[in-house]
Amino acid sequence: MRFYTRQHRFYCGVDLHARTKHVCVLDQAGDIVFDRNLAANPKAFLDALAPFRDGLVVGVECMFAWYWLADLCRREGIAFVLGHALYMKAIYGGKAKNDRIDAGKIARLLRGGTFPLAYAYPHGMRETRDLLRRRTYLVRQRAALLTHVQILNSQYNHAPFGKQLTAPGNRARLQITERFSDASVRHSVAIDLALAERLDELIDDVESYLARTAQVDDMQTYQRLQTIPGVGKILALMLLYETHDIGRFDTAGQFLSYARLVRCMHESAGKKLGSGGAKIGNPHLRWAFAEAVCGWLRVSERAKRLQEKLAARHRPGKVLAILAARLGRAVYHMLRKKEAFDEQRFWHGGERVRTGSSSLFRPEEAHHAGN
């Protein structure tokens, strides 16, 4: 975990909401010089902070509405830091809680050097990243619809489809609705298929738009990601935009922790107390690596053999997790060294797969993992 430790003349804590925000400003001595609830608009914010602009830092907890405030501070030349919501325990641990108290706690965390940092994704790339995440949402909705069709097929004890329903051509050839004799069931299946067909169109449209308009500042990195077997243009975009700057991770362990590819152990007095932090990190990057592993297994015979070897000791989900961690470590090093993916080097020069619970990972590497 990283903390903001720079010194300033004034420390501004903002408890931000969609329509309002509470602003608390402390001076270097820790005295409150401003403490008021304001409307969530740029003018009110700038007018309130006008007397404190010299040497000011603004801190806000990471929530859905922080984009406009970060962009405003960037334009106005005001230092801005984003707080990691899951690490800001001081806000939620008090006996009393309201907007004024929360804003004051944020300001004091800033002043005391204990403000936990989250990554404030930069303006200009943030919009494309969010569209990529929306595409992921559409893909999952389509998968849920097709899963419901398969559930209905099993409920009525029909033969398996035998082909992937994600391909529109397969759905048309299988004549799925004709399998069911009851009119209500046929109608339910028809709804699922109609929605899936519409989602096919929307997903294709989003992917075409991204291929035309995505601004890739580092085209070489984008092309390097596509050298990974099974990774295409859209998945490479997801890996690129969710990682953004590989330089913010000092070790491979930090990157794997950020991507939720490892477990962070809890220890006290030399005793292991399990693991934690399962919800800390980037779930979208984890999903991207899961997709990358599936693509890799489709095209690499050696990867398939490794999967079979690991399957003798682990559940299928655990096997995929081990492979994702191995692939994530390889991606970290290829991006740091600015090299294309070399499968021969991956198999012969990389560290061997460990079959224990902490595969390919030294827990101490994630102690200061980026967020």
* DSSP secondary structure string for all residues of 284-338: HHHHHHHHHHHHHHHH-HHHHHHHHHHHTTS-HHHHHHHHHHHHHHHHHHHHHHT
Percent of the chain with pLDDT over 90: 72
Q: Same domain for 89 and 206?
A: no
Q: What is the mean pLDDT of residues 329-356?
A: 75
pLDDT level of residue 9 (50, 70, 90 thresholds): very high
Q: What confidence score (pLDDT) does residue 277 get?
A: 66
Q: What local confidence, expressed as pLDDT, does residue 270 receive?
A: 76
Lowest-confidence region among 25-34, 174-183, 199-208, 259-268: 259-268
Tell me if 156 is assigned to some domain: yes
pLDDT of 195 above 60: yes
**Poorest-pLDDT segment among 21-25, 140-144, 213-217:** 213-217
261 domain residue, yes or no? yes
Q: How many CB atoms lie within 10 A of CB 44?
A: 15
Three-state DSSP state, 8:
coil
Element (H, E) at 126: helix 126-155
Residue 283 lies in a domain: yes
Let me know if residue 371 belongs to a domain.
no
Count of CB atoms within 10 A of residue 47's CB?
10
Q: Please report whether residue 210 resides in a domain.
A: yes
Q: Are residue 8 and residue 107 in the same domain, yes or no? A: yes
Domain boundary among 116, 136, 163: 116
Q: Is the pLDDT of residue 142 over 80?
A: yes
Is the Cβ–Cβ distance between 234 and 128 less than 8 Å?
no
Q: Domain check: are 228 and 357 in the same one? A: yes
Q: Residue 285 in contact with residue 295, Cβ under 8 Å?
A: no
- Are residues 130 and 112 both part of a single domain? no
Are 269 and 327 contained in the same domain?
Answer: yes
342 band by pLDDT with thresholds 50, 70 and 90: confident
Tell me which of 92-106, 123-137, 321-335, 350-364 is least confident.
Answer: 350-364
Same domain, 52 and 144: no
**Is residue 56 in a domain?**
yes
Does residue 121 lie in a domain region?
A: no
Q: Going by DSSP bridges, is the β-strand pair 115-116/32-39 parallel, antiparallel, or unpaired?
A: unpaired
pLDDT in tens, 40-87: 999 999 999 999 999 999 999 998 999 999 999 999 999 999 999 888
Distance CA 133, CA 287 (A): 10
Instruction: Assess whether pLDDT exceeds 80 at residue 359.
Output: no
For the chain, give the mean pLDDT.
88
67-76, 162-171, 214-223: lowest mean pLDDT where? Answer: 214-223
Number of domains the chain contains: 3
Per-residue pLDDT band for 96 (boundaries 50, 70, 90) equals: confident
* 304 plus 352 within the same structural domain: yes
- Give the pLDDT of residue 89: 77
* Domain's final residue, options 174, 192, 215: 215
Domain co-membership, 247 together with 279:
yes
| pLDDT tens per residue across span 272-290 | 776 766 778 899 999 999 9
* Of the candidate ranges 105-119, 125-139, 324-338, 345-359, the one whose mean pLDDT is the lowest: 345-359
Instruction: Give percent of the chain with pLDDT exceeding 70.
Output: 92
Q: What is the pLDDT of residue 217?
A: 67
CB 68 within 8 A of CB 39: no
Compute the distance between CA of residue 21 and CA of residue 36 in angstroms, rounded to an integer: 9
Which residue segment(s) compose the domain that 194 sits in? 126-215
Q: Do 226 and 362 have their domain in common?
A: yes
Query: Quick one: average pLDDT of 113-120?
Result: 93
* 350 in the same domain as 228: yes
Q: Quick one: 246 and 328 in the same domain?
A: yes
Same domain for 247 and 340, yes or no, is yes
Closest CA to 203 of 241, 231, 167, 177: 167
Q: Is there a domain that residue 180 lies in?
A: yes
What is the band of 269 on the pLDDT scale with cuts at 50, 70, 90? confident
User: 119 or 213: which carries more pLDDT confidence?
Assistant: 119
Q: Among 62-76, 175-189, 302-316, 351-365, which stretch is predicted with the lowest mean pLDDT?
A: 351-365
Task: Examine the fold and report which residue of 191, 215, 239 is the final residue of a domain before the chain moves on.
Answer: 215
| Residue 199 reports pLDDT greater than 70 | yes
> Band of the pLDDT at 260, cuts 50, 70, 90?
very high
Would the pLDDT of 271 be above 90?
no
